[in-house]
Amino acid sequence: MQSNFVDYVKINCRAGHGGAGSASLHREKYIDKGGPDGGDGGRGGNITIVGNSNFWTLLEFRFKRHFRGSNGGRGGKSRSTGADGEDIILDVPIGVIARDEEGNIIGEITDDGQQLIIAKGGKGGLGNWNFRSATRQTPRYAQPGLDGDELQVTLELKILADVGLVGFPNAGKSTLLSAVSAAKPKIADYAFTTLTPNLGIVEYRNHKSFVMADIPGIIEGAAEGKGLGHRFLRHIERNSTLLFLIPADAADYGKEYNILLNELTKFNPELLDKERVLAISKSDMLDDELKAEILKQLPTDIITTFISSITGEGIMELKDILWDKLHD
């Protein structure tokens, strides 16, 4: 069964050809040698992507990957310009980056309604009206239209969220997201329950809210492609604050945190510049003495809190910490 979440596609784009200019000569009763009056050709149709906040996946591009813009119209007599080719508008989720065949960034969509031309239509040719002069009063030639861009474009989606959940498989990320939002991610007691990112709106005090993303679990070696590899690590790049989750039944808390941090560093060292919070999940099985022992194993340069998504322990305190980090 294929997932409905698609975050990486390649599409073939060919913008429209520019229309040819006209080499018309003015013809009218009682007017001898009216002169050139050929109009310009129309612009070829562009291929444009537009941010749509109602979209969250690139799934539709899995079934249609070839897009062709229409050609511009020919110029006409009486200096009439040909019609522009019809543009192709493609709705994409917010957070999409478009790259050309060499991997260079064409642009990125960060706002609802934002437009980005990924393949530009060819310019229409000039009509013979443009080539008249004192010494060349009756030019009988016009320019042909130019070709539009033709290229393969890569669309890459990076989830936009305020808080990204980082942790090993089965750390309790999906359970936490379902406890603090209306999101209903798949939850089970085996690794890699989450195979696609999930987003949830977390309600805070005084009707405020922020967005939390459940990123599929990381394992040691993920930056080199092990497990789910770095397929989903890129989504973490767009999160303002990273919430590390380590379960209370972990064998070595400090080691798990360092492995997670190391994988992020190897993938993109700039991730270390993001705000970080550490939460020990499933802490309903811990007493105060065990919590104190756990804290001794963890670094002191990161805020650490204990939570239980089942009993609600520490959830409000966690929201307070995250809110403060987001608005620091």
- Residue 215 is assigned to a ligand binding site: yes
Distance CA 267, CA 290 (A): 33
- Residue 70 is assigned to a ligand binding site: no
- Residue 172 is assigned to a ligand binding site: yes
- Residue 284 is assigned to a ligand binding site: yes
Helix/strand/coil for 180: helix
- Residue 310 is assigned to a ligand binding site: yes
- Residue 174 is assigned to a ligand binding site: yes
Instruction: Using alpha carbons, select from 328, 324, 320, 280 the residue that is nearest to residue 304.
Output: 280
Question: Within 10 A of 206 (CB to CB), how many other CB atoms are there?
Answer: 4
- Residue 308 is assigned to a ligand binding site: yes
- Residue 269 is assigned to a ligand binding site: no
Look up residue 131 and give its amino acid. F
- Residue 192 is assigned to a ligand binding site: yes
Look up residue 180 and give its amino acid. V
- Residue 195 is assigned to a ligand binding site: yes
- Residue 149 is assigned to a ligand binding site: no
- Residue 309 is assigned to a ligand binding site: yes
Alpha carbon of residue 78 to chain centroid: 47
* C-beta separation of 209 from 187 below 8 A: no
- Residue 247 is assigned to a ligand binding site: no
- Residue 63 is assigned to a ligand binding site: no
- Residue 173 is assigned to a ligand binding site: yes
- Residue 185 is assigned to a ligand binding site: no
- Residue 34 is assigned to a ligand binding site: no
- Residue 169 is assigned to a ligand binding site: yes
Distance CA 84, CA 82 (A): 7
- Residue 106 is assigned to a ligand binding site: no
3-state DSSP: the chain helix, strand, coil percent, rounded to 5? 25, 25, 50
- Residue 324 is assigned to a ligand binding site: no
Residues of each annotated binding site for GTP: 167-174, 192-196, 214-217, 281-284, 308-310
Residues of each annotated binding site for Mg(2+): 174, 194
Residues of each annotated binding site: 167-174, 192-196, 214-217, 281-284, 308-310
